Structure 1
Amino acid sequence: MAKVGVIFAQGFEEIEALTPVDVLRRAGIECDMIGLTDQTVTGSHAIPVLMDKAFDGSLSDYDMIVLPGGLPGAHHLRDHEGLIAALQKEAAAGKYIAAICAAPVVLDRAGLLEGKNYTCFPGQESNIQQGQHQTDLIVVDGKIVTSRGAGTAMAFSYKLVDLLGGDGNQLAHTMVYDQLFQ
């Protein structure tokens, strides 16, 4: 069974962090909420969330790592040397690395966007030096997955389920998400 780690830093965007956790768990995929520096992490809208575990420097137990956006959360992720090193190691091992909204700046800092297509929150591309910016809602390029922002969190999460071997379309139907577009 696939296992996912979602990394939470102070000032994360709640929808972008908790939606993937909820959807992945509904799909039967093990998903840990990992606090970058604290056991309880507070989002950018002042919602405190109790973590499953604290970041210990290693992400080797995970098949996919998810980085939520939000500010200043994405900047805290980007500036954490231990996280950058762990992401580089897991990307080299062929793991999925997913980032939404402002979090592709973390991928850029880790050197993971070189030669890759990506998307991000509109305007954040000016903070990213590598890769080829796209305006799609979700971009998958190899094992790098990116999405635009809070409004795309559900679609992003269903795509993550699909990439891990689940059925995101069926789950979207079960959650009535697919009816939004009928």
Structure 2
Amino acid sequence: MGHDLQGQKIAILAADGVERIELDQPRGALHGAGATTELLSIHPGEIMAKQSDILDAGSVPVDAVVSDAVVTDYDGLLLPGGAVNPDRLRVNRDAVEFVRAFAATGKPIAAICHGPWTLLEAGVVKGLRLTSYPSIRTDLRNAGAEVLDQEVVVDRQFVTSRSPADLPAFCAAVIERFAMVPAR
């Protein structure tokens, strides 16, 4: 993939219950393209990852607490899924405000699987074309999004994808969209 993202710093916002593969594969793609990443969460220490929302998949160290994070420090935002992870984020005021403020910058945001739930809670999906895991599509429609059943949908600053099965296409689209941001 080259070094398209050299000099970029990408925030990854996740909580306990994050789908491990939806965190690791995009993060690896970002690193492979030259970006650095910082895992933000709603508490310090580690978050517990899952596989298929059920099986324990180890822990991941948190780099910073979202309440202490500054939106302008980042060039892009990644929201991995898993059903539990975004459900925890969307009830956390600091996480929702960070996503809302980040969306207001116009910088790219990528969300996969249940990740768009946090976008919905932040009030930024109205009028967007998105995709997601099937179980949250009605929520997205009710919030004013046009929901498509495609492996990846890119609309304005947003890149969305349905599930881990779409990770190769999602990672490629994330790198392509994030590369449009000039390095700081």
TM over 0.5: yes
CA distance in 2, matches of 1:78, 1:91: 15
Q: Deviations over 1:60-113 (max 9, x none)?
A: 211111111102111011111111111111211111121110111111111111
CA distance in 2, matches of 1:74, 1:155: 21
Aligned match of 2:64: 53
Q: Which of 70, 76, 79 is residue 82 of structure 2 equivalent to? A: 70
Q: Could you tell me which amino acid in structure 1 is paired with residue 154 of structure 2?
A: V
Q: What runs of 5+ residues in structure 1 fail to find an aligned partner?
A: 167-182
Q: Could you say what secondary structure the match of 1:43 adopts?
A: strand
CA contact (8 A) 1:39 1:54 kept: no
Q: Could you say what secondary structure the match of 1:49 adopts?
A: strand
Q: Which of 35, 39, 54 is residue 45 of structure 2 equivalent to? A: 39
Q: Could you tell me which amino acid in structure 1 is paired with residue 158 of structure 2?
A: I
CA distance in 1, matches of 2:179, 2:76: 12
Q: Could you say what secondary structure the match of 1:107 adopts?
A: helix
Q: CA RMSD in A?
A: 1.5
Aligned match of 1:82: 94
Paired residues in the alignment total 166
CA contact (8 A) 2:14 2:86 kept: no
Q: What runs of 5+ residues in structure 2 fail to find an aligned partner?
A: 1-6
Aligned match of 2:124: 112
| Residue range with higher mean Cα deviation, 121-130 or 63-72 | 121-130
CA contact (8 A) 2:108 2:178 kept: no
Aligned match of 1:17: 23
State, as a whole percentage, how many aligned pairs show the same letter. Answer: 28
CA contact (8 A) 2:14 2:39 kept: yes
CA distance in 2, matches of 1:98, 1:163: 9
CA contact (8 A) 1:57 1:83 kept: no
Q: Deviations over 1:106-163 (max 9, x none)?
A: 1111111111000001222022222000011111110111110111123211211111
Q: Could you tell me the TM-score, scaled by structure 1's length?
A: 0.85
CA contact (8 A) 1:120 1:149 kept: yes
